[in-house]
Structure 1
Amino acid sequence: MNKKIKIISLTLLLTATFALPLSGCSQKTTAATTATSSSTDQTSIAPTYKDVVFASVNNDNGDKKDLKMNIFKPQVKTEATPVLVYIHGGGWAMSDYQGDDAPKDSNAPKAPAQNQAGQPTGQMSGDNTSSYKIFKSILNNGIAFVSIDYRLNSEAAFPAQIYDVKGAIRYIRAHAKEYGLDPDKIAVCGTSAGAHLAAELATTGDIKELEGDEGGNLDYSSKVMACVDFYGPTDLLTMSNEMDPLLQSHVDAVATHDSTDSNESKLLGFTQKGQGIGVLREIRDKNETNSPYWDKVKLAELASPVNNVTSDDPPMFIAHGGHDTLVPIQQSLRLRDALIKAGIENIFMSNSKAPHGYQGEDVNKAALTWVTNKLLAK
């Protein structure tokens, strides 16, 4: 049975990889995929609609924050276009919706290196191309690119982040006509923490307690038709235990993921003395339902996409590098297995040498082609 699944997956992957040429390829598009790529690379164009406020929210300390998005329409496209929504990474702790289009400050300190413990960023190591720019190149395939904001873990605890993301999807759908977008063709993508939120969005379309009312538009759905997950966490409680000791010592993995200083602990608002993800995992493993922290255990489980997979979830493309020393590859393998068990179409790709960052051109092209085909399918 496993052999059969592998053969089917390989067939789907090869079909997806070669069905639609990306910008710069000389082949003609097939009848099934009608993308009209511009002859000019559009990854450097300015937003068509800049700094669009889709929700005004409160941080946990009471401060107000406007959540924004940048909307990029492909050039020479006048009809309503499908949409790829990008969710930035940064350990839920840094970066924002502007990505590479943020104003440049020559005096600003450089971002920390990719794969540094506890600080995943959107920058792809081993290459000067960021994940933002890679996914923005979807514009070359006639698809709109929208980069969205969300509250960081220093501003609000989960589920604020997924509330914000779903509010953005509802806003896009509610205002699709205004911006020339197709409300029925919305896919989501992200890397690292952004991929976690993308997968969480894709797997919780029917969970009301994770919908929120940020930005309103509650008559509109927050569901998406496809998801691209690049090395995102899928189970917040198991990151340290699943790290390959050949890539990172268990002591270092515990310090990165289980302590009160870990980004996962900060995401859950569990950072006081005697707290941390490691405490929650121990409570969960011992089934201590009477613990005063049991509600945090259940929140961590709810915040983990691998626990939310159901048979009506959208198809997913998952990529994870074999040399990732920040998010264990096992996180993506378990999500893949859950999708297979639920009967959800999925493709998993792994560059055995890739770190927590740049996955290689083969993976990038395959992912973009796959999501383009999903969005342009009739």
Structure 2
Amino acid sequence: MQNDADTSWVQKKYLDIQYASESRSEYLDIYYPNEGTGPFPVIVVIHGGAFKFGDKQDAMLNPMLEGLKKGYAVVSINYRLSGEAKWPAQINDVKAAIKFIRANAQNLEFQEDKIAVWGGLAGGNLAALAGTSGDTKALEDPNLGHNGVSAKVQAVVDYFGPMNFLTMDDQWKVLGVKGQQHDDANSYESKLTGQKITETPRLVETSNPISYIDGNEPPFFIQCGTNDKTALPLKIKEFADILQQKSKNEVTFEYIKESGHGDQAFETKDNLDKIFAFLDRHLK
């Protein structure tokens, strides 16, 4: 079981704030810098866990909390997992949380036009999707509130988010990697959609951030490990390549050499300094 993040040093925080009313999963935690006054730019953290596990207080929040020391407010969100609701409930919730943050920016001391999303693993997929899909209405649920408020973000940090579920097994076979069963009825991806992903390709395609690229994407910072055996590095690179070809904004892609899925190499000071420099360029 994953440990919780260390938030004991954060002096001002609001926990378990409801952002929508469909589920007990639709809550978020807000952390403020110990120094300085708002309004603050915002980092929205989307946890991972194969769409089936995870929580807004998981230890993967720790590197994002470093943003507090650099003048960012950090908002960590929960969303409905696949055991509770099927796709697209997960991205519906992410967008509802972004809308809540923007709609309440003045009261929460946030800058409504300076919102970034940062996610890893499944959260990386959702962060990338939030970035490329913008205000795509098909991925929003009007029952979750704040209709008319934009769900667009101004920057995306994507830690090894899986892409294009339907091609993952074939790509692994080409690379000679055995044991990958993403097409199986019991895979995390099939559990997410409610049936084998090969039997519902149109629905699965709506979870692919590549599907929404139109050149109007916000700046992206994308990283994955060369030894990642969960999220396919080549598919993530393909996503980054398409973004770089079409987007008008900065797209940074980096391989972390000899690193696997979620290795500590992503949390080193040097690596985090690069990420926060990227966020500073676009949110400050």
| Normalised TM-score (structure 2) | 0.91
Matched-pair contact (CA < 8 Å) for 1:168–1:215: no
**Residue of structure 1 equivalent to 2:79:** 150
- Which residue, 87, 96, 100 being the options, matches 1:171? 100
Q: What CA distance in whole angstroms lies between the structure 2 residues aligned with 1:258 and 1:322? A: 23
Pair 1:52–1:210, CA change in 2 (3 A): same
Q: What CA distance in whole angstroms lies between the structure 2 residues aligned with 1:213 and 1:78? A: 33
Q: What CA distance in whole angstroms lies between the structure 1 residues aligned with 2:209 and 2:7? A: 33
1:48 pairs with 2:13:
yes
Q: What CA distance in whole angstroms lies between the structure 2 residues aligned with 1:83 and 1:147? A: 10
- What's the RMSD between the two structures over aligned residues? 1.9
Q: What CA distance in whole angstroms lies between the structure 2 residues aligned with 1:75 and 1:177? A: 19
**Residue of structure 1 equivalent to 2:272:** 364
| Matching residue's letter, 1:348 | F
- Bigger-Rg structure (1/2): 1
Matched-pair contact (CA < 8 Å) for 1:171–1:215: no
Structure 2: 5+ residue runs without aligned partners? 1-5
Q: What CA distance in whole angstroms lies between the structure 1 residues aligned with 2:83 and 2:159? A: 23
**Residue of structure 1 equivalent to 2:225:** 321
5 Å matches for 1:1-378?
44-45=9-10, 48-57=13-22, 64-100=23-59, 131-243=60-172, 248-249=177-178, 252-253=179-180, 255=181, 257-270=182-195, 276-277=196-197, 280=198, 293=199, 296-344=200-248, 345-358=250-263, 359-360=265-266, 361=268, 362-376=270-284
Residues paired across the two proteins, number:
275
| Matching residue's letter, 1:327 | A
SS at match of 1:368: helix
Greater relative contact order (Cα 8 A, min sep 6): structure 1 or 2?
1
Matched-pair contact (CA < 8 Å) for 2:163–2:231: no
Q: What CA distance in whole angstroms lies between the structure 2 residues aligned with 1:332 and 1:364? A: 20
Percent identity for Structure 1 against Structure 2: 35
Matched-pair contact (CA < 8 Å) for 1:47–1:70: no
Matched-pair contact (CA < 8 Å) for 1:163–1:213: no
Q: What CA distance in whole angstroms lies between the structure 2 residues aligned with 1:352 and 1:247? A: 20
Report the CA distance between 1:176 and its aligned residue.
0.9
Report the CA distance between 1:320 and its aligned residue.
0.6
Q: What CA distance in whole angstroms lies between the structure 2 residues aligned with 1:71 and 1:375? A: 18
